[in-house]
Amino acid sequence: MATIDFNAEVEKRKDALMEDLFTLLRINSAEDKAHANAENPFGPGPRQALDAFLAIAKRDGYETKNYDNYAGHFVYENGAKEDAETLAIIGHLDVVPAGAGWDSNPFEPEIRQGNLYARGASDDKGPTMACYYGLKILKELNVPLSKKIRFIVGTNEETGWADMDYYFDHCELPLPEFGFSPDAEFPIINGEKGNITEYLHFVGKNDGEVILNSFTAGLAENMVPESATAVITGAKDLKGQLDQFISEYADKNLRYDLEENGDKATITLHGRAAHGAMPEKGINGATYLALFLNRYNFGGGAAAYLRIASEILLEDHEGEKLGVAYVDDLMGNTSMNAGVWTYDEATEGTIALNFRFPQGNSPERMQEILKAIDGVDDVTLSEHLHTPHYVPMEDPLVSTLIDVYEKHTGLKGYETIIGGGTFGRLLKRGVAYGAMFEGEPDSMHQANEMKPVENIFKAAVIYAEAIYELTK
């Protein structure tokens, strides 16, 4: 077959790619538990995004299958033998909540100064659509294949992976032999740390000089909380104390909102959101609000809650003060994000600690250490556990993807192990591949999430040739 000019093929399809991408980006596909039901397992938004994607695939001539609105797929064979291996491409259509601080409507995509702004532009609708168009090129050119291709999309990647649990439990096809997820960065992610959330539980009752009525923070366990809100009773001179606190931590660019009604006050402290796999890139509004409140005389569970938050969890991104720190020569360190916070004086308080841990560390080890912290009433584990995952550089999947990356960027490829979790780890020989390029700002899970438009097209070129090289 004649050499394919993948750059030229993407050029022909730029407008169509962006039109399809905008269709997906206009759907708020964050999990909505309040409106979840049998027809919408994660809420209406994720289901609408799945419907839209499968409609695009059906339009392009694929025979699609929807697995009860959890996930969907289509298979493309074009000459591959019945017993041929299957390459899986696994993306996701759900997003994290938009949160505050946007300069534009997060679900009305805008292109400004060459950048596409929208929730999901970078994680993961933009990369998924770039990869879809990479395959679309091969289909429209009628390229014969030696391997089958199964394109899978999920709707619950950000909050639990129940979509993929359901998909692989109900899919009638065998597990693909190898594959990649377009949900990270180039040149490749061939190793991923384990992922577990451990919940610290505290007694709700408190009867100190100042009462903590409630404390809330965090939109998702894998996000650094941008803001936190506490309702307290009995504190004096709050405005003066807050002004002094903000001044003391001027380098953190904190700001606050204060409402007072008699002796009861509501305080909201704002920091900066970031991806939970890289907590050091954010300013955790919850830990800094706890640091401020810890100057007052609380009692009972509230005193322990605020003391542990401010003296141990504050800026403890690797779990050193917690005592759970662990470093592996290959996979690196353990990271910790205190992602979701609740406290109710009538019931209890919880802090969800999301850990990304290397081989050698374990959820059980960390749980025992956390249980021993003075003031913690109990420690429980989330149902969702991902163990550490690694595919060696010499694997043909990895070496082929690296070669294609090097060809189209002129840069040297190298292996990368991350704390983030991608659908690549669902396969024994699975990796993540793009679509964030070296030097590209990382805005995933943050306000004003964006993707440079030219990088979407560049990724499509790389995906097209990568799929071609793996299946030709």
Q: Helix, strand or coil for residue 300? A: helix
366 phi-psi bin (left φ>0, alpha ψ -120 to 50, beta other): alpha
Element (H, E) at 416: none
Alpha helices in 253-383 (DSSP H): 285-293, 300-308, 363-371
Element (H, E) at 188: none
Element (H, E) at 142: none
394 burial (CB, 10 Å; 0-12 / 13-18 / 19+) is exposed
CB count within 10 Å of CB 263 equals: 12
How many CA within 13 A on the CB side of residue 169? Answer: 8
Q: Is the dihedral of CA 169, 172, 174, 176 positive or negative?
A: negative
Look up tokens 């679309």; give the residue.
136
DSSP annotation of 409 reads H
Secondary structure, 3-state, 69-108: CCEEEEEECCCCCCCCCEEEEEEECCECCCCCCCCCCCCC
Catalytic residue IDs: 94, 157
Cβ atoms of 460 and 17 within 8 Å: the answer is yes
Cβ atoms of 258 and 301 within 8 Å: the answer is no
Look up tokens 């805005």; give the residue.
443
Give me the long-range contacts of 296-300 (CB less than 8 A, separation at least 24). 296/208, 296/209, 296/210, 296/232, 296/235, 297/208, 297/209, 297/210, 298/206, 298/208, 298/209, 298/210, 298/211, 298/212, 299/206, 299/207, 299/208, 299/209, 300/203, 300/205, 300/206, 300/207, 300/208
Q: What angle do CA 24, 71, 219 make, to 5 degrees?
A: 65
Tokens (6 digits) for 225: 């909380």
Helix, strand, coil: what percent of the chain each, to 5?
A: 30, 30, 40
How far is the C-alpha of 67 from the C-alpha of 166, rounded, in Å? 8
How far is the C-alpha of 463 from the C-alpha of 435, rounded, in Å? 9
Dihedral, CA of residue 416, residue 418, residue 423 and residue 425, to nearest 10 = 70
